[in-house]
């Protein structure tokens, strides 16, 4: 019965999210484009420029294998990930805190995720089973005694999480901080050395084969350049930006009601640990949860960008703390049951049912707002651009989407003529250089795209291709700049392409190749 309930919660979260989505998201479609290129024999970073770690692409390959158009297949992979997280999280919480708190904790994060996925297919979402898995393994280690394989598996889970999004590592940092505190109390360095070494071994079990594959495929240097070097520049932000992003992240889970409950659980855990009133079996869980919550939010807001998907990585700790809050209310509920002369289980499940209604009440409000507001101009323009490209090109034609809309190469089933399917790499301060611009120009000369769709009106980061529009355009992203060498790209487009149409409310210009233009010799 519990398994069916957890499956229903996870399926319901995905159904709610999809009901709020008007068109496949920008990031999701790009991940699927990379996955499609992998299916065709390509390699991430070498054949498509992107700055996410690689595991998301290969999960999407599984989704594409399950359903050729990707979206239903990816939904199956998402459901498997969420269901695994719910099962493992429930099992760990049930053994430590009891049935009702465990159900309450899972209910808290699954209802919150329904209004945070924003179309789903997010790296942070797929990290949830690894977060809960690491916590379950840690609790098993504390409960059953030392085991080599548990710490190794914790390391493997950490490596897989890193291959999705390093900012979800707050749980592992909390686990090892808890171990460091325990080693300090025992006055034993060996008590910490063992889990560190075994965890590192688990990390190597994953990282070495993945790194070897990338190097053997000729993508090793590109991986370092895109995932490490670019993200260093991408993550630079002021303290004010980080505080603003943190406030936005807290607001997301305030809306569903999860964060206030989790904060009560956090305070409860701190009080129980400081007064030493926590049950022996529960102490490791409380320590990890207390440490993980601020670490998760700090990591999620580190870039200073208030993107809602970044804070999906904070849900595991909040779900655990919600269970802690529910567990702390057990005595109060028992007293209420005694006064009412009914079973304490009846009262507990009655309160749980009320909380289901409370948490879920946020979902209709979000749905009503989204459907009343309707799709924004970008959400309306993307499908129109897709339809235009499909109508005016053949499947083998190359299409360049200028700006941040490289994922439309997936929705149109048209390959980009360059690995820079979107061109942020050309503008990021501290990362951009003339060689990248030269690489893009060479790719366009060798294989001129049939169409160029100028999606720059959908972003503040990328200048328009039209000379007149560019003259009055202002770059509003302080982390970006336009190098003088970009004029080579703009002149090449002017010489070889003509503006033939505009699509959507944002009036994206579409350029068609002038007659007589042929690819340069290879």
- Residue 521: pLDDT band (50, 70, 90) is very low
Per-residue pLDDT, 377: 85
Task: Give the number of other Cβ atoms within 10 Å of residue 304's Cβ.
Answer: 19
How remote is the C-alpha of 387 from its chain's centroid? 28
- Tens digits of per-residue pLDDT, 220-270? 999 999 999 999 999 988 889 999 999 988 887 877 778 988 999 999 999
Structural domain boundaries in the chain = 2-371, 377-513
Q: Is a pLDDT exceeding 70 seen at residue 152? A: yes
Q: What is the mean pLDDT of residues 143-159?
A: 91
DSSP bridge pairs for 511: 452, 499
Under DSSP, is residue 402 helix (H, G, I), strand (E, B) or coil? strand
- Give 279-310 pLDDT, tens digit per residue: 888 999 999 999 999 999 999 999 898 888 89
Q: Residue 522's pLDDT is what? A: 38
What's the pLDDT score for residue 337? 54
The pLDDT of residue 340: 59
Q: What's the pLDDT score for residue 365? A: 65
Residue 17 confidence class, pLDDT cut points 50, 70, 90: confident
Q: Are strands 497-503 and 451-454 parallel, antiparallel or unpaired?
A: unpaired
pLDDT of residue 19: 78
DSSP assigned state of 451: E
Q: Distance between CA atoms of 41 and 218, rounded to whole angstroms?
A: 13
- Which sign, positive or negative, has the C-alpha torsion 298, 300, 302, 308? negative
Confidence grade of residue 520 (pLDDT, cut at 50, 70, 90): very low
Per residue, the 3-state secondary structure of 186-222, as one string, reads: HCCCHHHHHHHHHHHHHHHHHHHHHHHHHHHCCCHHH
pTM: 0.91
Mean pLDDT of the chain: 89
Q: How far apart are CA 279 and CA 139, in angstroms?
A: 13
Answer for the pair 447, 417: CB distance below 8 angstroms, yes or no: yes
| Residue 25: pLDDT band with limits 50, 70, 90 | confident
d(CA 241, CA 304): 5
Alpha carbon distance 233, 51 (integer Å): 11
Overall average pLDDT of the 335-344 stretch: 58
């Amino acid at each position: 019965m519990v398994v069916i309930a957890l499956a229903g919660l996870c399926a319901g979260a995905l159904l709610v999210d999809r009901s709020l989505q008007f068109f496949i998201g920008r990031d999701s479609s790009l991940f699927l484009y990379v996955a499609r290129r992998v299916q065709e024999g390509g390699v991430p970073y070498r054949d498509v420029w992107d700055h996410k770690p690689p595991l998301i692409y290969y999960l999407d390959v599984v989704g594409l294998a399950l359903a050729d158009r990707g979206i239903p297949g990816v939904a199956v992979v998402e459901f498997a990930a969420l269901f695994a997280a719910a099962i493992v999280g429930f099992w760990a919480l049930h053994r430590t805190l009891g049935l009702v708190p465990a159900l309450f904790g899972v209910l808290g994060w699954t209802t919150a995720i329904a209004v945070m996925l924003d179309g789903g297919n997010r790296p942070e979402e797929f990290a949830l089973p690894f977060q809960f898995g690491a916590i379950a393994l840690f609790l098993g280690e504390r409960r059953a005694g030392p085991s080599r394989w548990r710490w190794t598996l914790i390391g493997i889970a950490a490596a897989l999480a890193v291959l999705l999004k390093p900012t979800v590592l707050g749980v592992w940092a909390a686990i090892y901080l808890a171990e460091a505190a325990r080693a300090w109390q025992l006055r034993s360095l060996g008590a910490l050395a063992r889990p560190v070494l075994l965890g590192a071994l688990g990390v190597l079990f994953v990282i070495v084969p993945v790194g070897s594959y990338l190097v053997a495929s000729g993508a090793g240097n590109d991986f370092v350049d895109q995932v490490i070097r670019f993200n260093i520049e991408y993550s630079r932000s002021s303290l004010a930006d980080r505080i603003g992003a943190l406030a936005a992240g807290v607001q997301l889970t305030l809306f569903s009601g999860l964060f206030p409950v989790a904060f009560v659980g956090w305070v409860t855990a701190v009080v129980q640990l400081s007064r030493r009133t926590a049950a022996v079996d529960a102490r490791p869980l409380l320590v990890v949860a207390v440490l993980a919550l601020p670490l998760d939010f700090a990591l999620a807001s580190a870039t200073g960008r208030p993107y809602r998907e970044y804070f999906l990585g904070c849900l595991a700790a909040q779900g655990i703390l919600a269970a802690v809050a529910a567990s702390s209310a057990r005595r109060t509920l028992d007293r209420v049951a005694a006064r009412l002369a009914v079973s304490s289980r009846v009262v507990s499940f009655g309160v749980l049912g009320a909380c289901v209604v409370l948490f879920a009440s946020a979902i209709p409000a979000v749905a009503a707002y989204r459907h009343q507001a309707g799709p924004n101009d970008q959400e309306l323009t993307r499908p129109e651009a897709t339809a235009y490209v499909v109508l005016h090109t053949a499947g083998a034609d190359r299409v360049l989407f200028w700006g941040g809309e490289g994922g439309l190469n997936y929705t149109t089933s048209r390959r980009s003529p360059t690995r820079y399917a979107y061109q942020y790499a050309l503008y990021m301060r501290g990362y951009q250089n003339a060689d990248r611009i030269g690489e893009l120009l060479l790719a366009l000369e060798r294989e001129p795209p049939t169409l160029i769709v100028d999606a720059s009106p959908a972003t503040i980061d990328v200048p328009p291709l039209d000379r007149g529009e560019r003259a009055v355009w202002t770059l509003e992203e302080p982390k970006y700049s336009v190098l003088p060498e970009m004029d080579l790209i703009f002149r090449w487009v002017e010489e070889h392409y003509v503006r033939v149409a505009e699509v959507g409310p944002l009036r994206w210009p579409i350029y068609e190749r002038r007659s007589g233009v042929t690819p340069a010799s290879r």
